[in-house]
Amino acid sequence: MTITKIAGRWGRTVAGLAALCCLALSPTARAEPLPALQPYGQAAHLMVDGRPFLIRGGELGNSSASDLDYLAPHWEAFQALHLNTVLAPVYWELLEPQEGRFDFALVDGLIAQARANDMRLVLLWFGSWKNSMSSYAPVWVKRDTDRFPRARSATGEAQEILSPFSSENLQADRRAFVALMRHLARVDAEARTVIMIQVENEIGMLPDARDHAPAATAAWAEAVPAELIAAVEAAPGAPAHALWRAAGGRTSGDWSAVFGTGKAAEEVFMAWSFACYVEAIASAGKTEYPLPMFVNAALNRPGAEPGGYPSAGPLPHLFEVWKAGAPSIDLLAPDIYFPNFVERISPFRRADNPLFIPEANQAGREEAVADALFAIGRLDAIGFSPFSIESIERPESHLLGKLYARLAGMDQLILAHQGQGTMTGLRPPVSNEGEVDAAAQTVDMGGYRFTFSFIDPWTPRDRQKVETHGGLLIQLAPDEFLVLGTGVTLTFAPASGQGRVGIESAWEGDYVDGVWTPGRLLNGDQTHQGRHVRLPPGEVGVQRVRLYAYD
Ligand code: DGJ
């Protein structure tokens, strides 16, 4: 029997038990439920302490949480950036340096530092896989390749990648993850400093589309599980469905009979195998402590074939496979390092998949603010988090910190408008080659047509980085709107195309603990004598604007 089957069956049984356990045996005395994802309109909220929570995040560089003394001074910068959540790795090699002997000192120290700084944590389980590889496996795993077999290339070469077809690999990882979750239930169920868990990191198969270890090759010749075929059949429009149809649309058979013999079929096979392995780990972890869990995807390079990129991860073209194989995973998340943010991120926001961006490119990039406004305003993201947050220079004056400061005062307002059709986010799209489409964009809301220009009228064109400009628009009431952003200028017309629209008032201001605190009334030169509302580049502005229609 292959591990695919063991993991798949086992995972489902435990997931069912987990649901029962949570009802019967809450690990906390607190009245508010544990962090959880909850549907809200057309979106979903991450609920923390019973309230919707917007993650103003930053992910640590890979090695920064391995030394508490190294990490300690960085919290000042995280405060200056107005983060409310730090994404931090937990390293299997340090958590279980000897088999069965767990050391929680680093985890506890991390939690203590976060608490002292009034921040939450999302823990990243660097277990069997980190960026495809298994570099974070403990040495007793790494050295014992008989007991803990590696994935192999088509030519039979062992890779520094644990094979997902080994029950020893799975059991070792699962034991450590279960120990971690049990520990968190013990030390954190009251405070809830840890609000979410990433299981593994950027899972993917390299350098071929599938593992060619003997167990993998045996599994490839076995029958495709009926639940996968059913999930693929039920998703017309999904790439896996097209693949299945092209191979004859069979409802039973081995992998090549059901999905074909090409690399795309091999990728589906691997995605299912990875997903079942993750399911076994996540569901077992949730029986100990049922925090929301997600997996993150390394995006595939355009034009590359499976095997030419970390294949079989939780990528949009494999969503049906991952959702069917790993139902205990609450969401599939993108890590985005390509410039075409709008294009690559949008497929991750689906009715069955709330958007969270654990790695939004390297921290410090000026595009982060525009990206965050688009993700949160348009795609109802539950959070945003650039990578290597401790490396950001001049955090006190960084634009990301200015955005996060604004969001800190108005997060409940924004969250209340997610999934309701009363909010949107806009930024100029950028192509994969880095070309910026600076064209103005229009949006209809509340009977008005808003035109967003991303080219600031009062700043010399050669001093503008248009790709860093973006805005978020909310309808607060009939004729009343809030705009948050940087480097955007809005003009107005009736959505019907009949008549004209004027500015009744435009107040700049800020939200302090959710309460609007007005500043200047903007008019005259500041609104171009009533022609536009402008949020200058280089800062993150908020304005409340009242409009009126006239003939
Ligand atoms: C993506 C990975 O998930 C991170 O852990 C880190 O390795 C970054 N790439 C580096 O850019």
- Is the pLDDT reported for residue 88 higher than 70? yes
Ligand 1 centroid vs 239 CA: distance in angstroms? 27
Looking from the CA of residue 337, the nearest atom of ligand 1 is: 11
Does the beta carbon of 335 sit less than 6 angstroms from any atom of ligand 1?
yes
Distance (angstroms) between ligand 1 centre and the Cα of 386 equals 11
Q: Is the pLDDT of residue 16 over 70?
A: no
pLDDT at 8 over 90: no
Q: What's phi and psi for 197, nearest 5 deg?
A: -130, 130
Widest Cα–Cα separation across the chain: 81
Q: Is 374 helix (H, G, I), strand (E, B) or coil?
A: helix
C-alpha distances in angstroms, 407 versus 54, 56, 413, 461, 519? 9, 8, 9, 29, 17
Q: Is 328 in the pocket of ligand 1 (CB under 6 A)?
A: no
pLDDT exceeds 50 at position 209: yes
- Evaluate whether 61 touches 126 at the Cβ level (below 8 Å): no
Least confident of 3-12, 344-353, 404-413: 3-12
What is the pLDDT confidence band of residue 307, given thresholds at 50, 70 and 90?
very high
Query: According to the model, what pLDDT value does residue 27 have?
Result: 55
Name the phi and psi angles at 298, rounded to 5: -80, 120
pTM for the structure as a whole: 0.94
Evaluate whether 85 touches 119 at the Cβ level (below 8 Å).
yes
Q: Is 136 in the pocket of ligand 1 (CB under 6 A)?
A: no
The Cα–Cα gap between 18 and 9 comes to: 14
pLDDT-derived band at 9, boundaries 50, 70, 90: very low
CA of 131 to the centre of ligand 1 (A): 7
Are 90 and 162 spatial neighbours (Cβ–Cβ below 8 Å)?
no
Task: Report, as an integer, the average pLDDT of 450-471.
Answer: 97
Check pLDDT > 60 for residue 3.
no
Q: Is the pLDDT of residue 483 over 80?
A: yes
Confidence of residue 32 (pLDDT cuts 50, 70, 90): confident
Q: Mean pLDDT across the chain, nearest whole number?
A: 94
* Confidence at residue 22, expressed as pLDDT on a 0 to 100 scale: 37
List phi, psi (to 5°) of 182. Answer: -65, -45
- Count of other CB atoms within 10 angstroms of residue 183: 17
Decide: 200 in ligand 1 pocket, CB within 6 A. Answer: no
Tell me the pLDDT tens digit for each residue of 328-351.
999 999 999 999 999 999 999 999
Residue of the CA atom closest to atom 5 of ligand 1: 62
Q: Determine if ligand 1 sits within 6 Å of the CB of residue 380.
A: no
- Does 257 score more than 80 pLDDT? yes
SS3 percent helix, strand, coil of the chain, rounded to 5, is: 35, 30, 35
How many CA atoms are closer than 13 Å to the CA of 104, on its beta-carbon side?
16
For ligand 1, say whether the CB of 131 is within 6 Å of any of its atoms. Answer: yes
Q: How do residues 231-246 score in pLDDT, each as one tens digit?
A: 999 999 999 999 999 9
Pocket residue to mutate for ligand 1, from 125, 126, 129, 202, most atoms within 8 A of Cβ? 202
pLDDT of residue 2: 32
- State in Å: Cα 298 to ligand 1 middle: 9
Question: For residue 28, what pLDDT is reported?
Answer: 60
Q: Is the CB of 359 under 6 A from ligand 1?
A: yes
For 450-476, the DSSP string reads EEEE-S-TTS-GGG--GGG-EEEEEEE
For the CA of 358, the closest atom of ligand 1 is 3
Does pLDDT of 222 surpass 70? yes
Give residue-wise pLDDT tens across range 171-207.
999 999 999 999 999 999 999 999 999 999 999 999 9
Our mutation pick for probing the ligand 1 site, out of 335, 361, 389, counting the most ligand atoms within 8 A of Cβ, is: 335
pLDDT given at position 30: 82
Pocket test residue of 59, 60, 62 for ligand 1, highest count of atoms within 8 A of CB: 62
Q: Is 169 in the pocket of ligand 1 (CB under 6 A)?
A: no
